[in-house]
Amino acid sequence: MAVIETRELRKSYGRIEALKGVSIRVEPGQIYGLLGQNGAGKTTLIKILLGIVRKTEGDASLLGHAAGDPYARKRVGYLPEDHAFPVYHTGYSLMDFYGQLYGMARDDRRRMIPEMLELVGIAGRMHSKIRTYSKGMKQRLGIAQSLLHAPDLIILDEPTDGVDPLGRREIRELMGRLKEKGHTLFLNSHLLGEVELVCDRVAILQQGTLVREGTIADLTRQAGRYDVGLADGQAFPADAAVKLGFAVAPLPDRPGRFEVTLPAGQTIDPVLRLVAEQGLSLRHLVEKKQSLEDAFLATVEGAEPGVDRRPKGRRGARPVGGDD
């Protein structure tokens, strides 16, 4: 049973289509990343899953129940992007308040609150007022409240926003431990480097449309391009490879290494046979990859909705004519 599943999910606000037939499936135990520019529909999708917003068309389920079902929502921990905790609370009293909302018994709250605050690294400040917390501490507190009732599914909207590099690494490690314990995490983040390090699968939305979906390896692979290197002192048979239809270019920053690009429908096997026939020793063969950020930028187009695109050309040039 999928933890999250949507099929042709649509949401319209009048003439504005926030979601245009989005279909995704999140399996148990995955860390699933949702990417997209501001206005792409990510938050709308999360709000439909939680029952905060009603869908217009299509289907959406959460933990085997229709999106918004009260039983399913009890099994979800949620960290919204723009949370605003009452600053007159201490970390402990806020967690106690949320524990009561979750229906937790008093003894369970007393036992779990220090554990959760210790888990996110702010147990030493649990009795300090939230008004004295930094942005990063408030974010850690938000993560702690989303974990307090031991949910099956954890939805985190920008979980490392405002957290320093060391804190981001600690939160990544925490997400890994939660996955090992069997939790499923649904992650929305603009920090693509963070997503690349922790997620099993990623979906990219643009203006309400699902434009790419797959594993990190799938999305970052540069199909048909290989980094090839031989043993020290051996010359790569570039001319012979070119005659076979391959494009070959030396890698300037890696002496003795070459980028080999395959013709359409071809594999790297003819190049490997060529190397073997000439008695050469292959020492390096890797299908080239790009970063998730590069893959994302190559996928999405233009500025977010409502934002003027920068004119191409020199920085600061004035746009010519009317709208793009």
Tens of pLDDT, residues 308-321: 555 554 444 434 34
The confidence score (pLDDT) of residue 126 equals 96
AA identity, residue 108: D
Entry pTM: 0.75
Separation between Cα atoms, residue 320 and residue 324, nearest integer Å:
10
Rg of the chain taking only CA atoms, in angstroms: 25
Residue 88 tokens, joined:
């007159």
Name the DSSP class of 264.
Answer: T
- Structure confidence by residue, pLDDT tens digits, 76-96: 999 988 788 999 999 999 999
Residues of the chain with CATH 3.40.50.300: 4-218
CA angle 320, 322, 324 (to 5 degrees): 90
> Minimal CA–CA distance to 289: which of 220, 230, 235?
220
Strand pairing class (184-188; 153-157):
parallel
> Minimal CA–CA distance to 98: which of 78, 125, 70?
78
CA angle 86, 191, 164 (to 5 degrees): 60
Residue 157 burial class via C-beta count within 10 angstroms: exposed 0-12, middle 13-18, buried 19 and up: buried
Q: Which residues of the chain have pLDDT under 70?
A: 222-223, 301-324
The confidence score (pLDDT) of residue 286 equals 83
4-218 adopts what CATH topology? Rossmann fold (3.40.50)
Answer positive or negative: Cα dihedral of 296, 302, 308, 314. Answer: positive
The confidence score (pLDDT) of residue 103 equals 92
> Minimal CA–CA distance to 168: which of 180, 160, 159?
160
Q: Which long-range contacts (CB under 8 A, 24 or more apart) does 169-176 make?
A: 170/121, 171/120, 171/140, 171/143, 172/197, 172/198, 174/119, 174/120, 174/143, 175/31
Mean pLDDT (the chain) is: 87
The confidence score (pLDDT) of residue 169 equals 87
CA angle 35, 41, 42 (to 5 degrees): 45
